[in-house]
């Protein structure tokens, strides 16, 4: 796992997500008991990490760290 993926997973843990590595070495991310996404075990494609972050954002993940949540439309 590359360092960029590790940064994202560390930020995810700080925001209440959990992750575990499957038998193929790919990190799988969960929000509670709900599966969110799976990251690649190798950094072969830049889109892979971006797609993972996008899936996690749909479940409340804030990236980059320190970003303020979007206000709902009134």
Q: What is the pLDDT of residues 49-72, one digit of tens each?
A: 999 999 999 999 999 877 777 777
Residue 31 lies in a domain: yes
pLDDT confidence of residue 22? 93
∠ CA 29-42-66, nearest 5°, is: 50
Estimate the crossing angle of helix 46-57 against helix 3-14, to 10 degrees. 10
Query: Per the structure, how many domains does the chain have?
Result: 1
Q: What is the pLDDT of residues 17-39, one digit of tens each?
A: 999 999 998 999 999 999 999 99
Residue 70 lies in a domain: no
List the domain range (segments joined by +) for residue 28.
Answer: 3-57
Residue 62 lies in a domain: no
Distances (CA, A) of 68 to 17, 21, 60, 61, 72: 18, 29, 11, 11, 12
Residue 71 lies in a domain: no
Q: What is the pTM of this model?
A: 0.84
């Amino acid at each position: 796992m590359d360092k960029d993926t590790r940064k994202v997973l560390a930020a995810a843990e700080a925001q209440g997500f959990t992750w575990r590595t499957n038998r193929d070495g790919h990190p799988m991310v969960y929000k509670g008991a709900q599966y969110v996404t799976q990251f690649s075990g190798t950094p072969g494609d830049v889109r892979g990490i971006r797609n993972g972050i996008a899936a996690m954002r749909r479940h409340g993940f804030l990236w980059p760290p320190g970003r303020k949540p979007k206000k709902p439309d009134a």
